[in-house]
């Protein structure tokens, strides 16, 4: 249902080079779920282009290749967060 709504809002293909964002703040999984006083050491920069490249490579892997869930799901989450960001009214990126 959500991906159908994304396709309806943005179309079947989203040209990522035209969205105007690539880098984003990324919180390491351990930092995100093992709350500590200072999360700063667990915050770094992720890239939407890297997420999409990794997901594309995942689709090209042999069917018997076992996914590395903690790694592959982080790239999927990055791509989904980009879609959520593009839908924010303040970004204007999704407006036609």
Q: What is the pLDDT of residues 5-16, one digit of tens each?
A: 999 999 998 887
Residue 49 lies in a domain: yes
Rounded CA-CA distance 16/53 in Å is 11
Residue 53 lies in a domain: yes
SS3 content of the chain, % helix, strand, coil (to 5): 55, 10, 35
Residue 96 lies in a domain: no
pLDDT of residue 87 exceeding 80, the answer is: yes
8 A C-beta contact, residue 67 and residue 47:
no
- Give CA angle at 37 (48, 46), nearest 5°: 10
Residue 15 lies in a domain: yes
Rounded to two decimals, what is the model's pTM?
0.83
* Domain encompassing residue 68: 2-87
Give pLDDT, residue 94: 53
Residue 92 lies in a domain: no
Residue 52 lies in a domain: yes
**How many domains are contained in the chain?**
1
Give pLDDT, residue 91: 56
Length of the chain in terms of residues written:
96
pLDDT of residue 96 exceeding 50, the answer is: no
Residue 93 lies in a domain: no
Residue 37 lies in a domain: yes
Predicted confidence (pLDDT) per residue in 23-64, tens digit = 999 999 999 999 988 999 999 999 999 999 999 999 999 999
- The mean pLDDT value for 74-86 works out to 94
Q: Which helix (H) or strand (E) holds 29?
A: helix 29-33
First-residue to last-residue Cα distance in the chain:
22
- The mean pLDDT value for 67-72 works out to 95
């Amino acid at each position: 249902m959500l991906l159908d709504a994304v396709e309806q809002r943005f179309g079947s293909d989203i040209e990522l080079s035209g969205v105007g964002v690539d880098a984003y703040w990324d919180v390491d999984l351990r930092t995100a779920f093992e709350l500590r006083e200072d999360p700063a050491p667990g915050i770094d920069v992720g890239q939407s282009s890297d997420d999409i490249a990794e997901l594309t490579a995942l689709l090209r892997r042999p069917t018997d290749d076992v996914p590395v869930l903690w790694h592959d799901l982080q790239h999927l989450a990055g791509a989904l967060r980009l879609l959520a960001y593009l839908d924010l009214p303040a970004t204007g990126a999704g407006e036609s």
